[in-house]
Amino acid sequence: MEQLLFWCDLIGIVVFAFSGVLAAGHKQMDLFGAVVLACVTATGGGTLRDMILNVPVFWLQDTHYLWLASATGVVSFYLIRYLQVPMRLLKIADAMGLAVFVVIGTQKVLGLGHSAAIAIVMGVMTGTFGGLIRDLLAGDIPLLLRREIYATAALSGAAALVLLDASGTLPGEIVVAIAILVTLSIRLAALRWNLSAPIARFGNHG
């Protein structure tokens, strides 16, 4: 289980850092701006989670996360010069990061003994906050707030983890894997078929 979460964490760092560089590429930022955006995207969600929970921030404890995010940033910076990279790739990398970080965040908060409601909220925050800062800093409308089943996918994955964990019938690794797949498949399905949840509307459509 430790092992599984560790690898998921690394994957989340890498794909979110990559999505940060893609966003930097769309705005033609320079190398160090891109690396900063990569690091912020990769670590933002977990940083806010740990600050709110008042536990030590994860990358202060283990510097490998920062090295991995920076290295991914530098490599991606040169890599994207040899790629045709549409906006869709940014959304897919973001979806993978979202899926693993929502589930890791929810799992970590459950493990600290918090209630299911808090675990779900903190899980959604862990998964969505890094991408939210990325979009804010790059001057884009946050993916989180577009009509693309983003918050819905995160909520579903966190809720799946909490429910399966409470039922106690499946081993922890399977529960984590299912919750990641739930988030990822809802989000990718929404991207593939342009699904959307009900939209906020005023009476005068104003």
Q: Which residues bind its own copies (CB under 8 A)?
A: 21, 24-25, 27-37, 39, 47, 51-54, 56-57, 60, 63, 66-67, 77, 80-86, 114-115, 117-118, 121, 124, 128, 132, 136-139, 141-142, 144-152, 155, 196-204, 206
Contacts of 142 (CB under 8 A, 6+ apart): 131, 132, 135, 136
In angstroms, what is the minimal distance from the CB of 8 to its own copies? 23
- In angstroms, the CA 25 to CA 21 distance is 6
Choice between 63 and 167, CB closer to its own copies = 63
Choice between 117 and 171, CB closer to its own copies = 117
In angstroms, what is the minimal distance from the CB of 175 to its own copies? 23
Contact 165, 111 (CB under 8 A): no
In angstroms, what is the minimal distance from the CB of 32 to its own copies? 4
In angstroms, what is the minimal distance from the CB of 52 to its own copies? 5
Contact 71, 14 (CB under 8 A): no
Nearest Cα neighbor of 5 from 84, 44, 48, 58 is 58
Contact 157, 180 (CB under 8 A): yes
Choice between 8 and 23, CB closer to its own copies = 23
In angstroms, what is the minimal distance from the CB of 42 to its own copies? 12
Choice between 70 and 177, CB closer to its own copies = 70
In angstroms, what is the minimal distance from the CB of 2 to its own copies? 24
Choice between 8 and 38, CB closer to its own copies = 38
- In angstroms, the CA 33 to CA 77 distance is 10
Choice between 120 and 164, CB closer to its own copies = 120
The string of DSSP codes covering 64-107 is HHHHHHHHHHHHHHHHGGGS---HHHHHHHHHHHHHHHHHHHHH
Query: Tokens for 157?
Result: 């994955």
- In angstroms, the CA 79 to CA 98 distance is 22
